[in-house]
Amino acid sequence: MKRTALAAALFTAFAAPAMAQISDNVVRIGVLTDLSGTYSDLTGAGAVYATEMAVADFIAKEKPGFKIEIVSADHQNKADIAANKAREWFESGKVDTATELVTTSVALAVMEVGKAKNKLLLINGAASTPITNEKCNDVTVHYTYDTYALANGTAKAVTKAGGKTWFFLTADYAFGHALEKDSTKVVTDNGGQVLGSVRHPFPGQDFSSFLLKAQSSGAQVIGLANAGSDTTNSIKQAAEFGISKKQSLAGLLMFITDVHALGLKTTQGMYLTDSFYWDLNDETRAWSKRYFDKMKKMPTGIQAGQYSSVYHYLSAVKAVNSDDTAKVMAQMKKTPINDFFAKNGKIRDDGRMVHDMYLAQVKTPAESTKPWDYYKIKATIPAAEAFQPLSESRCPLVKK
């Protein structure tokens, strides 16, 4: 476990007796993420740094009367490791909230611990819709994106553009299953047909046999219901087989770091759906430049969402003068999110933070005019359209 030491003077300068309702006068944030595996590039150390940025900015602007500490750990994409670390943090580490939690199996396991220990969770990396449906609870916020929004962007756009027959290459765990399920519904609802699917181990290395099955299906579109290095390796190996010349690849969860790793020559023309793009406007560019100066790469949506969610959480703690989970959650849900990541964002009763999403197409090498100039934003998907409506929710917290 790593403990981040931001300037101690910042943590202590504003301590005051008025904040006695905050246990031990310290708010501890635990960043539980993938620091070494499949998803480390799209979250990992970048998510830890985004958390540090949020804390430093909050202290500078809000001058809170409590200390703030950050701890971090690598869950290795394993649910048991994540659950044990969260339990340790909550029981003996005096951690108030666990954040990030990429990998659905990890998020679901930590959600059980958080509920049992009455500790607030901020999920940014995990994507599966069960987090705010069957598995929802009153201590969890699902902040950045989910499989419903991803499918509602990419799968809809590709199907409407003429990609009517699909075959899915799916990571064989909860996230991949949810992304395939949500995408299948979008494809069929928009007049398309799913010819089949194949599931690969998570994480994967050799995708050749799975890609050959996708190729033999004759589908116009091979939907990649995976993420991180699984996605980049799938795309690389598809190019080696010549698949991408005859069939289209749809990366259902791709990040700017994936495009950067693969290059525009390989990814040009691909559609993707994202919660954030560094070059959207002056606000996103300013924040992303600060991030880039430290990390030497542009941030992903998860890393930007991590900053936003942590800042929103700390603002709620200050507003209610308490780190009590129920009080803080109520404040977070009633307060709109307006920052560089989201405008008029709102946390619903099911814990889903709803905000605009973006349908992007990867530029050709000739269209790119500067480093990391990778996307053409084809559409802004309004929050009300991007995410599953509450009327369809299966979350027991939602009153019908």
pLDDT tens-digit series, residues 155-214: 999 999 999 999 999 999 999 999 999 999 999 999 999 999 999 999 888 999 999 999
- pTM equals 0.93
Q: What is the chain's alpha carbon radius of gyration, rounded to the nearest angstrom?
A: 21
Q: In whole angstroms, what is the distance from residue 92 CA to residue 229 CA?
A: 35
User: For the domain 148-274+357-390, what is the CATH code?
Assistant: 3.40.50.2300
Q: How far apart are CA 396 and CA 400, in angstroms?
A: 9
E strands, the chain, are 2-4, 26-33, 67-74, 97-100, 120-123, 140-142, 165-171, 193-200, 221-225, 248-251, 271-274, 346-347, 353-354, 357-362, 375-381
Structure tokens at 76: 């290795």
Domain boundaries, the chain: 2-145+280-355, 148-274+357-390
Question: pLDDT by residue (tens digit) across 33-70?
Answer: 999 999 999 999 999 999 999 999 999 999 999 999 99
What pLDDT score was predicted for residue 17?
40
* The predicted structure's pLDDT at residue 1: 58
Q: Which residue has the tokens 């991030």?
A: 291
pLDDT at 377: 97
pLDDT tens digit string along 339-367?
999 999 999 999 999 999 999 999 999 99
Kindly give the pairing relationship between strand 271-274 and strand 357-362. Answer: antiparallel
Q: What is the percent of the chain with per-residue pLDDT over 70, rounded to a whole number?
A: 94
Any alpha helices (H) in 164-207, and if so which ranges?
174-189
Answer whether 2-145+280-355 and 148-274+357-390 agree in fold: yes
Mean pLDDT confidence for 125-129: 97
> Is the pLDDT reported for residue 141 higher than 50?
yes
Architecture of domain 2-145+280-355: 3-Layer(aba) Sandwich (3.40)
Residues 266-290: tens digit of each pLDDT: 999 999 999 999 999 999 999 999 9
pLDDT for position 245 = 76
The residue behind tokens 């995408």 is 183
Count other C-beta atoms under 10 Å from residue 289's C-beta: 11
**pLDDT value at position 399?**
83
